[in-house]
Amino acid sequence: MSEREENTTHFGFKTVEEEKKVELVAEVFHSVAAKYDVMNDVLSMGIHRIWKRFTIDCSGIRHGQKVLDLAGGTGDLTAKFSRIVGQEGHVVLADINDSMLKVGRSKLRDLGIEGNVEYVQANAEELPFPDNHFDLVTIAFGLRNVTDKDKALASIYRVLKPGGRLLVLEFSKPIYKPVSKFYDFYSFNILPKLGKLIANDSESYQYLAESIRMHPNQESLKEMMENVGFEGTEFFNLSAGIVALHRGYKY
């Protein structure tokens, strides 16, 4: 295998050089940032709110603790965690994309959420935080866009305190064939058309559909988490496995 082949990865169904993927993903989220929340509601028919509520319920987060909402986008989880941890706690909304961070900061300030929230532009593979720092790290609908997922999971493990936990909320593999067939039809025929209609961007939503298909399935992601040191790892299938929540602990 040539050095060029060794340094390639997938961008949706395309094969690209690893360093190029970060740039391509950035272009997608620069494009969709302004309409991100609207599209989430339309494309999931509002169900993403239930998935995120389940994530909050599984977090075990308490008053005064520290949370990293990684790839936190427009801050839905950050808003909830900010209220739970209170002013004695601290929430970091981190995203590699500055357009998403700007939308998130503006949205949360409009909601009156300030004081205990910090905004950091950061790459999940090389988190700029101390070892053993956070009680909880969440990454919702972001891990599939990371170039080196193993490196990102190891970076997350490093910044978690002993006893801390990781929650990965991500699109996954439907567990029933009829659901899978409908989901494929919706993803590749309806989703890009809605992207064009609402956000004037069909290509970004075509990529999002493809990126979901390239993401590890439930068992594979669980194994990846265990390989970097997470224990007590488990996952919960939501909406028949269209989405899964993985949880692991650093002991």
**Binding site: what residues are annotated?**
74, 95, 123-124
135 φ, ψ to 5°? -80, -30
Binding residue ranges for S-adenosyl-L-methionine: 74, 95, 123-124
| Contacts of the segment 198-203: beta carbons below 8 A, 24+ positions apart | 198/35, 198/38, 198/39, 198/42, 199/31, 199/32, 199/34, 199/35, 199/38, 199/39, 201/31, 201/32
Task: Judge whether 219 and 227 are in contact, CB under 8 Å.
Answer: no
